[in-house]
């Protein structure tokens, strides 16, 4: 992920960890609050949240959002706020609000041809007019939503 330079300057350069249990401690601490180990200095390491998008998102929401202007907060929201994500790895549509289909069509989760992961959704329609098959998610309270989906078409449209 490309992070703007001004944001990078707001992120901490280092994290400090206990030499015994390797959990995060305060910079100038000499005793670990997790394991009770006493040490002369905490070990300085690069921040772990830079490698994990979920941890980076949590850190930005907790520490950076309160410090920046509303304009910058709105700008950063598009990079650090994930409202919904599902790769069908539950093996069903339980993360979705529901499915809808007309008679004769199917909605199922299978493992035959995933883009990534183990599962994918498969929707079948025979292509007639006013026939449909899809899953949906209700997301309330959002004015703008950015979405990414992957589709694989296995047959050409007959009347195209």
| Domain count within the chain | 2
pLDDT recorded at residue 1? 60
Average confidence score pLDDT of the chain:
84
Q: Which domain holds residue 104?
A: 86-160
Residues 106 and 148 in one domain: yes
Residues 67 and 30 in one domain: yes
- Per residue, the 3-state secondary structure of 22-82, as one string, reads CCEECCCCCECCCCCCECCCCEEECCHHHCCHHHHHHHHHHHHHHHCCHHHHHHHHHHHCC
Residues 61 and 21 in one domain: yes
Q: Are 121 and 97 in contact (CB under 8 A)?
A: no
DSSP codes of every residue in 74-117: HHHHHHH-------STTSSSTTSSEEEE-TT-EEEEESSS-SSS
Question: ∠ CA(141), CA(147), CA(150), 5° rounding?
Answer: 145
Residues 56 and 17 in one domain: yes
- DSSP-derived 3-state class of residue 124: strand
Please check the confidence at residue 160 and state whether its pLDDT lies above 70. no
What's the rounded mean pLDDT across residues 58-67?
Answer: 87
Give 61 or 158, the one with higher predicted confidence.
Answer: 61
Domain boundary among 48, 80, 112: 80
What's the rounded mean pLDDT across residues 78-105?
Answer: 85
Residues 97 and 155 in one domain: yes
What's the rounded mean pLDDT across residues 130-159?
Answer: 79
Residues 114 and 138 in one domain: yes
- At 39, the pLDDT band (50, 70, 90 cuts) reads very high
Please check the confidence at residue 146 and state whether its pLDDT lies above 80. no
Residues 39 and 102 in one domain: no
Domain boundary among 80, 106, 141: 80
Share of the chain above pLDDT 90, in %: 24
What's the rounded mean pLDDT across residues 37-59?
Answer: 87
Residues 93 and 76 in one domain: no
């Amino acid at each position: 992920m490309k992070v703007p330079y001004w944001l990078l300057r707001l992120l901490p350069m280092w994290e400090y960890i206990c030499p015994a249990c390797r959990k995060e401690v305060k910079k100038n601490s000499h005793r670990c609050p997790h394991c009770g180990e006493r040490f002369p200095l905490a070990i300085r390491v690069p921040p772990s949240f830079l490698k994990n998008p979920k941890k980076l998102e949590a850190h930005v929401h907790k520490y950076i959002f309160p410090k920046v202007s509303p304009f910058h907060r709105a700008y950063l929201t598009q990079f650090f706020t994930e409202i919904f994500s599902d790769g069908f790895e539950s093996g069903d549509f339980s993360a979705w609000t529901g499915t809808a289909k007309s008679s004769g069509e199917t909605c199922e989760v299978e493992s035959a041809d995933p883009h990534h992961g183990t599962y994918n959704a498969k929707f079948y329609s025979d292509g007639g007019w006013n026939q449909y098959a899809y899953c949906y998610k209700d997301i309330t309270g959002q004015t703008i939503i950015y979405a990414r989906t992957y589709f694989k078409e296995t047959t050409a449209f007959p009347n195209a």
